[in-house]
Amino acid sequence: MNVLANLSNIIIPALLFYIVAYGLMNKISVYEEFIKGAKDGMKTVVEIMPTLIGLMVAVGVLRASGFLEFVGRLLGNVLAMVQFPAELMPLTLVKMFSSSAATGLVLDIFKEYGPDSYLGYVTSLMMSSTETIFYTMSVYFMVAKVSRTRFTLAGALLSTLAGLAASILLAGYMM
């Protein structure tokens, strides 16, 4: 195990050294390229900031208003038929928009039910096997200036559904 710990400690510095050495060998001004990349990154941050703020505010409003819990209770009977805990519906909805807001809900679930409970297992698996669909799509498509998303949303929702199903099955197997 010590070998892996030591290897992980040197991978990033070795990669940085390799990039600088490669640039110097090819007579590239590494520092100027770094500065140019940092400027481009800052432009991207400024461009996507309104979208990020809008998503964060929307998630905060939905969470504070109790709408997510309402949807969870409303869909509780339907969710019970497919063995999906209604308590996780707010987390499922929030995760599609914001991973950081979902992390707050995860902590609430862990506090109430415990991380080693069935809900704790499903929550942990769900967080690692689903994506922040709307955040990722809005940021990527805005930066790439894509206007026709075609089947992206349908594919992302289908993969999220698959991740949710796998989380339920694996958590049931672990219990």
Per-residue pLDDT of 35-69, as tens digits, reads 999 999 899 888 888 877 887 788 788 878 988 77
How far from the centroid of its chain's Cα atoms is residue 107's Cα?
A: 15
What local confidence, expressed as pLDDT, does residue 45 receive?
84
What local confidence, expressed as pLDDT, does residue 38 receive?
93
Question: 144 or 35, which is more confident?
Answer: 35
What local confidence, expressed as pLDDT, does residue 1 receive?
62
What local confidence, expressed as pLDDT, does residue 76 receive?
75
Contact of 109 with 123, CB cutoff 8 Å: yes
| Residues ≥6 apart with Cβ < 8 Å to 21 | none
| Residues ≥6 apart with Cβ < 8 Å to 130 | 92, 95, 96, 159, 160, 163, 164, 167
| 87-138 tens-digit pLDDT | 888 889 889 888 888 888 899 999 999 999 999 999 999 999 998 888 888 8
Q: Round to whole Å and give the CA distance between 73 and 67.
A: 10
Contact of 80 with 86, CB cutoff 8 Å: yes
Lowest mean pLDDT among 24-33, 75-84, 164-173: 75-84
Q: Is 92 exposed, middle or buried (0-12, 13-18, 19+ CB in 10 A)?
A: buried
